Structure 1
Amino acid sequence: MSFPPQTELLHNRILTVLSFPLMERLQELSIMFERCTARQIQEIYPMIVHSIFGINGNALGWGLRTTTIENGPHYFNALHQFFGVTGPFMNICHRLLNETTKFAIDISLLPVNGNGESKFVNMLNNQSSAFYSDLINIDPFQRQANTLSLNAFDFYILHFVLYALQPLHCINPIAMQVHNERTKTVYLLLVTEYLDNFLPLHPDVLIQPANFCNTVKAPQPLPTPLLQPQRKPRYLRIPTNYGNGNIGTSGSGGGNTSPQSGGSAARALSWRSESVVHFFIDIWLRYDIEAERHLPSSDFVRGVRVLIKQIHFFANGVHLDHGSLCLLRKVSLTMVKARIYAFLCSLIERWPLDCSLVVVLELWLSYIQPWRYTIAAANHRVGGINYEPPILPSFDNFIMENIIVYTHIFMLLLPRFERLDYTVYRNAHMLFRLSKTFAQQDLGDRLQRFEQVGSTFGFDSPQRQIKLISNSPNSNVSWISLGGSQSPKLFSREMHAQIENFLFIISMARNTVLREIGTIRNEIAKRQRSEGFIKNLLSKLMAAPSQEELTLKEISRIPELLRQGINSFCNIFNVDPGNLSMHESLPPEPPSPQEQTEQFSFFDMSDSLDTSKLTPSKMALNASKIRATVDPALLPLQSNEIRPLTHLLHFVSENINAKFGSSIESCYSREDFCGKVARQLLCAPMTEQWFDRKCGNTSICEKQLPPRVCLRPLASIPVLFTIVCSLILGHWVWGAPTMGLMGLCFMFLIYVLLQALIS
């Protein structure tokens, strides 16, 4: 197919622009959006969207899921400004809504799992959702959906949602690094902004952008079983030309639909919210985690948490909204409830036991606490007040309907929490978050009461829940059973014994941390006594905290977190704390001879090393004790060092050591007072160790370093700041900066001589 000259020129121009660097690309596209007509933008719009999200090209696209404020502040701000709700691209999406041309998406291009199936595609083929009735084009021969006809806004939002399902953390090392940290990417920021805009908390908030054609999309009947609005609902009617299968017709947003008086004016702004709700929930919560080869990224799970929180905000404002969004507010939480249980179960069963488990925990805790996402709670958080919202009786219905999400998910997480190492701060904090959630107010009593009531009616059975939700507007639900209809209860005798054993493990971990804290404190005190008062004072003023002090600062917070978690669970499940052998403080005990023989090390060169006795905790302890044994002068540059000066001083030190090495070594080994002074000024001899992997085998290489001169400390900013202060003081007091420098050198000499005397 050959394009007309003008169209071909436009295609060549957009291909050239899309190959530009990111900043120049955004600038050129903004200019093109202003100068081109709507008809011209329609020709290039799909190409731009495909380039943004890496369709048929680079999977990273424009880097929305890899760009953070830390690794690229300029790119981060530029992308956020370009794709924001009032940015140039969103304005173009709404500008194209005035036209009748639709954009087609082939069903075969939608993502599928490892088995070649997709829950979302199956839902489209089964036609189980009325929302997609005017978006689907049915193949008359195969009787299956083959394409989706979408307006410009839906076309962009659908690609935006699908972009989160790409396993970028398994494809690109940049994405892997970003998703292993709790940083916010541009994509996650846009998710938050889009959901907050199109699913507003306050009913009187105007959805942006507001200046676009209001006859874009035809009305869609929302499912309303058992949810009758207070006033007559204003539905959008399905267009009469539905089913013709032509992409170029009005379809979901044709101009042939005549606007309805009164109701259609209000509904004109609500169809975007319907699209956002359906696309985000239907695609994200239908993600088939069990059948997928790769786990979703932690960034995706954090995005789902943002969705859950905003759905709670959106649904909790239903009593204040009597407009066009009232009905959507009522059914949005029901749509989430129909899928969240299976989604969480699949996620928990496959998620690794590392620090990223906290994103799954926070997702679950956000869903089971809807009282935290109300207008009152939001107003208190804006004021900066530490506010604990009350669990009002109006939330009892939510707790009853989602009782298995509280109880069964807790029982599913408990075996995984038993395997965590609670001597690590992040794991201890996860336990604290879990205990704090279930200990708030009378939530535990309500769960116990509702679990007993639910057992009478079958509310606590996943199989019973299937029957209940099958009568809801979203009946296409797949649940995961936990062992048949007679599943265990959270507040049963069996679970009480398991909880008691779990708390015993935590108390033992707490005692271990207390002993470790005592040991570290004794080591720090012993080192400080050996160094003397003056050196300790100068170290506190000028040197950075040692690794032991940083470790002590981190683990000193763990015992209190574990204590609060143990007390909370004891109160919830009526466990006697006296059975847990928990002590407030324990003195460090010296290891017995048998324990000393069991302190295995990876660097033990003896032939009697039995690695079968290495437990995971001992392996972690050995790994934590591995330290770099290289020359301190060759360590990487620190943040408080000046690079050029460090290189210069290292060059000078190497020349001095090469020229006067024998004299330095003989002076260091002297037994008189001069030798003591030399040992205060020179670096002590040491054995350098490193791994050699050149031959395919990992072996430890060693090198003996003699006493040597190291001038690198003079390149640190604190030392230079002290020298500058001495120069300024000498200028003010004696009128000569060199006098201040000489005074500083004299004080340093006195300090060295005193250290030599007491050494």
Structure 2
Amino acid sequence: MSQTMPSENLSSRVLMVLGMPLMERIHELTILFDSCNGRQLQTVYPHIVHSIFGINGNPIGWGLRTTTQENSPHYFHILQQFFGVRGPWMHMCHKILNDATKFELDVNLLPRKFVSMLQAGQNPMFYADLINIDTFRHQVVSLSLNAFDFFIFHFVLYALNPLHSINPIAMQIHNGRIKTFYHELVEEYLNNFLTAYPDNIIEPVTLCGPVKTVQPLPAQSLQPQRQPRYLKIPSSYRNGGGSSNGGGIGAGNTSPQSSSGATSRAYTWRSESVLHFFVDIWLRYDVESEHHLPSSDFVRSVRTLCKQIHFFANASAHDHTSLNSLRKVSLGMVRSRIYAFLCGLIDRWPLDSSLTVVLELWLSYIQPWRYTLMAANNQIGGRSYEPPITNLFDGFIIENLIVYTHIFMQLLPRFERLDYTVYRNAQMLLRLAKTFNQPELVERLQRFERLHSGNAYGFDSPQRQVNIMNKSNSFNAQWNPMCSSNIPKLFSESMKMQIEAFLFVISMARNSVLSNICLLRKEISERQRSEGFLKNFLNKLLGESTQDELMLRELSRIPEMLRQSIDAFCRSFGINPSNLSMHETLPVEQPRSPPPLESPKKFSFFDSSDSLDTSKLTPHQMSLNASNFEQVVDPALLPIQNNELKPLVRLLHMISEKMNQKYGIQFQTYYLRNDYFGKLTRRLLYAPMTEQWFDKQCGNVEICKKELPPRLCLRPLASIQMFFLVGFAMLVGQYFCGSSLIGFICLCLILVVSNLLLALIS
């Protein structure tokens, strides 16, 4: 492309490139970035950014939040190369920084809570050089951002887009535990710009020249009505260690060892931008006011942010560069907002196993000792290491005491309503119990709750938090030391009684799981006896497991997890385990009394009779009935297991899908026949089933169902057991017959004959 191409032709060329398929689009843009100068790229840069994040168009954009390593490994790799910190995109962003051009970001694209902060004049000094104010209306109308800030700001805003509610692919991905490319990129950017290791160089290392200064902010018209509680970066840091990111970007060498102010600003301004944009926008997400709940993928990204900021802040003692001042204030920025954010999430999050993403976010924030350089070095190589809680973290625990104690008290009623016969719920409970079973943590919480309750808490003071915390049965938002005695205490007698009642319920759930295990083992044993030796032998040989066997495998792990949870809570809160009636076994084969099916006090929503009177159901009974519902998915769509070959699973799944699309009607016809061909078809195809899952739109949980017809599934052929069986047969054929192909053919004949015989006798 010519260096002197007019801007009109360049814009037309870019629009044409943005309409190409993703791989061609990235290839053409990479060539474009190399062939054009910075001034030419500035004219098309906003269009490319808007295309990436779906501004005023397709909300999916380039699919950063729908692309995963599992569903599109090739696209995932291409995007990783393009958007990485050493990729062509970042180099192009810094190439544009050579000029003093700013890009306008309309205030209407920003979250309401963030705009209210700017409009009320409560903004930190960081935004003084970025905001543009209409002097007639005295309102913030836009932000003026350099190329790097413009991209990072849109990148952070992209996480707030409710894709999980408007796109089926995103809904399936965000409700699972699959890592999207966006989450991968969040980790890479945070690791680079908020580096945990002081000797790491922030990429890319080639920076721009100086950029013109923005007009001074007319702050007089936007003075706050009260003293703001937001953390402001000290002027000493602004002048020496950092810059106002958008307004004055320093120049020169990026070496962190430089002592000049210009070099320090050139080195720190990107980290300052990343820290402010991520914290101010993500942790100001108004969970209660928004129509849609944030996605699980977004909450996991916030957890990544908290973990990285812990690493970033904990390295301040070892950092003597210009980043040290930013490290010292970073954790305070999170502390002032995290409590309200967590409260909103816990209040609205559905009561199912996806609550674990909120739990993990909270537990990561309250355990900064897990995110230090020493802890990271000791965990390299997969070694088990439990970092000690030293006196260095006493200040953090005191300043965040409410986040430890009151969040726990807010979560407890929600945990009381979970069904602990579900493996993920039991796993969640054990995770919580182990965290509060750390002796050093419990001892500190008890001591600090007695000494420091009602002191030294700062929040970003959303109206919702003030209202809730001022309620008579809640907590005082102002934390007046004179009334600290009225604040609920985590280690009080009333909480001890509540936790003891909760553990009694857990003990009963454990006994119920033990009963279910005994019954399920009996059913599996009876079914195996009825199927005969030959079929059981072939199933074990091929490594095939039935749904009941998989369920038994999962259920068998639950009792031990619940026992460990009960023991941990008893140690933490001084509860006598003998009061919980926890039995090891139950006489299931010969029950003392028949199941209370006729009891007039128990009802079920799943009762097929017409005599159900839901008016007699208590809220507790309703929650128990709702918890009886379990998600059921097609076995062909389950996550790839450790005993399966990933490429082969994907290939066989694609073949199966094409076969089902082409011959689906014939499969259904043969499956319903009553002759021998029908029996054979029923042996080879998966049986019809009803998929059931939870849909979590608008903060409500709805049960969705989908009927699946008889279908072909070749996935069992991708197991490692089958791979070794084929290899063994080929070795036998090579040894006895001189040809491995003969051994493979013999194995195929054995499998075909066995299925024909089993179909005949079924």
Taking structure 1 as the reference length, the TM-score comes to 0.78
Equivalent runs, 1:90-101 vs 2, <5 Å? 90-101=90-101
> Partner letter of residue 342 of structure 1?
A
Match of 1:168 among 163, 167, 172: 163
2:407 maps to what in 1?
409
Tell me if 1:146 matches 2:150: no
Contact persistence 1:234–1:264 (CA under 8 A): no
The separation in 2 between residues aligned to 1:156 and 1:741, in whole angstroms, is 58
Q: Secondary structure at the match of 1:365?
A: helix
The separation in 2 between residues aligned to 1:74 and 1:643, in whole angstroms, is 20
Tell me if 1:595 matches 2:570: no
1:158 maps to what in 2?
153
2:299 maps to what in 1?
301
Q: Give how far 1:299 is off.
A: 1.0
The separation in 2 between residues aligned to 1:160 and 1:413, in whole angstroms, is 31
C-alpha spacing 1:376/1:96, structure 2 compared with 1 (3 Å)? same
Tell me if 1:252 matches 2:267: no
Match of 2:349 among 351, 368, 392: 351
The separation in 2 between residues aligned to 1:607 and 1:226, in whole angstroms, is 64
1:358-392 per-residue CA deviation (whole Å, 9 max, x = no partner) reads 11000000100000000001111223211110001
Q: Give how far 1:537 is off.
A: 2.4
Q: Secondary structure at the match of 2:457?
A: helix
Equivalent runs, 1:153-552 vs 2, <5 Å? 153-213=148-208, 215-216=210-211, 235-236=239-240, 251-253=247-249, 262-455=260-453, 458-459=454-455, 465-466=457-458, 481=469, 482-484=474-476, 486-542=486-542, 544-552=544-552
C-alpha spacing 1:651/1:181, structure 2 compared with 1 (3 Å)? closer
The separation in 1 between residues aligned to 2:434 and 2:526, in whole angstroms, is 38
Q: Give how far 1:178 is off.
A: 1.1
Which moved further from structure 2: 578-587 or 497-506? 578-587
> Partner letter of residue 68 of structure 1?
T
Q: Secondary structure at the match of 2:105?
A: strand
1:322-380 per-residue CA deviation (whole Å, 9 max, x = no partner) reads 21111100000011111111111111111111121111000000100000000001111
C-alpha spacing 1:513/1:179, structure 2 compared with 1 (3 Å)? same
Contact persistence 1:641–1:716 (CA under 8 A): no
Q: Give how far 1:76 is off.
A: 1.1
C-alpha spacing 1:604/1:128, structure 2 compared with 1 (3 Å)? closer
1:618-645 per-residue CA deviation (whole Å, 9 max, x = no partner) reads 56557789999xxxxxxxx996997899
The separation in 2 between residues aligned to 1:652 and 1:140, in whole angstroms, is 72
1:211-257 per-residue CA deviation (whole Å, 9 max, x = no partner) reads 12253487999x9999999xx86825999xx9xxxxxxx9434999x
C-alpha spacing 1:476/1:158, structure 2 compared with 1 (3 Å)? farther
C-alpha spacing 1:621/1:157, structure 2 compared with 1 (3 Å)? closer
Q: Give how far 1:547 is off.
A: 1.4
1:381-406 per-residue CA deviation (whole Å, 9 max, x = no partner) reads 22321111000111011101111100
Which moved further from structure 2: 438-447 or 561-570? 438-447
Contact persistence 1:602–1:622 (CA under 8 A): no
Which moved further from structure 2: 441-450 or 619-628? 619-628
Q: Secondary structure at the match of 1:537?
A: helix
Q: Secondary structure at the match of 2:141?
A: strand
The separation in 2 between residues aligned to 1:93 and 1:286, in whole angstroms, is 27
Tell me if 1:45 matches 2:37: no
Contact persistence 2:241–2:325 (CA under 8 A): no
Q: Give how far 1:682 is off.
A: 11
C-alpha spacing 1:689/1:531, structure 2 compared with 1 (3 Å)? closer
Q: Secondary structure at the match of 1:104?
A: strand
1:243-290 per-residue CA deviation (whole Å, 9 max, x = no partner) reads xxxxxxx9434999xxx9823212211011111111111111111111
Identity of aligned residues (%): 53
Q: Give how far 1:48 is off.
A: 0.7
Q: Give how far 1:525 is off.
A: 2.2
C-alpha spacing 1:603/1:107, structure 2 compared with 1 (3 Å)? closer
Q: Secondary structure at the match of 1:196?
A: helix
Which moved further from structure 2: 495-504 or 118-127? 118-127
Contact persistence 1:311–1:332 (CA under 8 A): yes
> Partner letter of residue 248 of structure 2?
S
1:97-146 per-residue CA deviation (whole Å, 9 max, x = no partner) reads 1101111112233233xxxxx33443354153100111112222122222
C-alpha spacing 1:499/1:218, structure 2 compared with 1 (3 Å)? farther
1:247 maps to what in 2?
none
The separation in 1 between residues aligned to 2:379 and 2:82, in whole angstroms, is 29
1:581-613 per-residue CA deviation (whole Å, 9 max, x = no partner) reads 101222315564563446988897665566667
Q: Give how far 1:539 is off.
A: 2.6
1:674 maps to what in 2?
none
Match of 1:119 among 106, 114, 117: 114
> Partner letter of residue 301 of structure 1?
V
1:178-210 per-residue CA deviation (whole Å, 9 max, x = no partner) reads 101111111111111111101111111110001
1:9 maps to what in 2?
9
The separation in 1 between residues aligned to 2:332 and 2:713, in whole angstroms, is 65
C-alpha spacing 1:7/1:454, structure 2 compared with 1 (3 Å)? same
Structure 2 stretches lacking a partner, 5+ long: 218-228, 253-257, 477-482, 636-650, 691-703
Q: Secondary structure at the match of 2:239?
A: coil
Contact persistence 1:104–1:147 (CA under 8 A): yes
The separation in 2 between residues aligned to 1:546 and 1:83, in whole angstroms, is 43
Count of matched residue positions in the alignment of Structure 1 and Structure 2: 683
Contact persistence 2:659–2:712 (CA under 8 A): no
The separation in 2 between residues aligned to 1:594 and 1:270, in whole angstroms, is 68
C-alpha spacing 1:5/1:745, structure 2 compared with 1 (3 Å)? closer
Q: Give how far 1:654 is off.
A: 7.6
Which moved further from structure 2: 596-605 or 283-292? 596-605
2:74 maps to what in 1?
74
Q: Give how far 1:483 is off.
A: 3.7
2:226 maps to what in 1?
none
Contact persistence 1:135–1:252 (CA under 8 A): no
Q: Secondary structure at the match of 1:490?
A: coil
C-alpha spacing 1:722/1:553, structure 2 compared with 1 (3 Å)? closer
Q: Secondary structure at the match of 1:439?
A: coil
> Partner letter of residue 283 of structure 1?
I
Q: Give how far 1:148 is off.
A: 1.2
Structure 1 stretches lacking a partner, 5+ long: 113-117, 243-249, 629-636, 669-678, 692-697, 702-709
2:565 maps to what in 1?
565
The separation in 2 between residues aligned to 1:743 and 1:347, in whole angstroms, is 55
The separation in 2 between residues aligned to 1:723 and 1:261, in whole angstroms, is 66
C-alpha spacing 1:582/1:27, structure 2 compared with 1 (3 Å)? same
C-alpha spacing 1:644/1:59, structure 2 compared with 1 (3 Å)? closer
Contact persistence 2:85–2:204 (CA under 8 A): yes
Q: Give how far 1:9 is off.
A: 1.3
1:634 maps to what in 2?
none
1:151-188 per-residue CA deviation (whole Å, 9 max, x = no partner) reads 11111111111111111111211211110111111111
C-alpha spacing 1:729/1:376, structure 2 compared with 1 (3 Å)? closer
Q: Secondary structure at the match of 1:13?
A: helix
1:707 maps to what in 2?
none
